[in-house]
Structure 1
């Protein structure tokens, strides 16, 4: 059984001061940096939207391909990332899930590399983290969501909490970062 850490969209535009800044989005970075060293394989996803994306009919323009806003948060130890999944590149698609990556089939990658367990952290609990975690479960992956290493947009005040409840009800295991060593 192989395990990987998946860091979802810890990008400048999702952190405070960014185009779609999440309250306390930057506060998860130290936790991620602390747990990153526990994993032999670290994967990230990154929104990489075209300027004319229909996604921007719902959301402020953010994470446009090649911009500073699309870059990883500067404090994230991104040099530890082994594989980067690029998503949201189609101007007709939202690209919430890392399983919608356009640079490779993430589901095939996991299968070919016999990765059966994913630990997921990053931004945002109620959109990209949730959709990625639910897709992981659908693909038969044992899925852990690291609750102190995620943050929600919370368009509605309870969106993050409801997303956690949905992930849990669909088979995700909710875990705190300090408990990871107990299950690795």
Structure 2
């Protein structure tokens, strides 16, 4: 059954569609460049309004493995707010790799939320940094616009898209993840499976729905 988009109550969220997450970037997501045309089709189609998020790290950010001598990317270490995955240096403020992808149609993107710019706190969600207390202000902006349902797409399925979806659902928004306009990292888990499967299960339990772009009607 088609999901009919209400231009007054529904909004598209475009998560971290930046060159650093594309093949050849500093933190590449496999097939990540495939989201650009998929997201552009959504922006040109049923959605009149959209926001985007943008990873925006200062040099030497605490989440970078390079900031912790002897540590390697994708290791996890304790931070004051909980376990933190360490990443390759990426999305450095002002760099070309940190910009929104040049192929992304931004004509309907009305707000860009920059996250991860506090040197000691990483940030996956569009709504809160990883300490779960520092808000980005996106919720208030959406409420002021009368938005009740969010459709999320972008990179990466198992991190910034998933954390954004989970927070949105917790805040009372109806949430739909557009799966063919997302790609994930898929780190293996010690308990088996990977981070994509774990994120999908967690989101389903939170009431987040999944669709494909062909399921949407304006």
TM-score using structure 1 length: 0.93
1:96 matched residue in structure 2: 124
Provide Cα deviations, 1:105-162, integer angstroms capped at 9, x if missing partner. 0111111221111000000011100000000001100000001111111122632122
Structure 2: where are the runs of 5+ without partners?
Answer: 1-7, 66-85
Q: Find out whether 1:137 has 2:141 as its counterpart.
A: no
Q: Within 2, Cα distance between the matches of 1:17 and 1:74?
A: 15
Detail structure 1 runs of 4+ shifted over 3 Å in the superposition: 101-104
Residue 53 (structure 1) shift: 1.1
* Match runs of 1:100-179 below 5 Å: 100=128, 105-156=137-188, 158-179=194-215
Confirm or deny: 8 A CA contact 2:127 2:139 kept in the other structure. yes
Name which one, 1 or 2, has greater alpha-carbon Rg.
2
SS at the partner of 2:63? helix
Task: Select the residue among 49, 57, 61 that pairs with 2:89.
Answer: 61
2:52 matched residue in structure 1: 44
Q: Find out whether 1:71 has 2:99 as its counterpart.
A: yes
Structure 1: where are the runs of 5+ without partners?
Answer: none
Q: Which has the higher helix share?
A: 1
Confirm or deny: 8 A CA contact 1:9 1:72 kept in the other structure. yes
TM-score using structure 2 length: 0.79
Residue 36 (structure 1) shift: 0.9
1:82 matched residue in structure 2: 110
1:17 matched residue in structure 2: 24
Worse-matched range after superposition: 122-131 or 164-173: 164-173
Residue 15 (structure 1) shift: 0.5
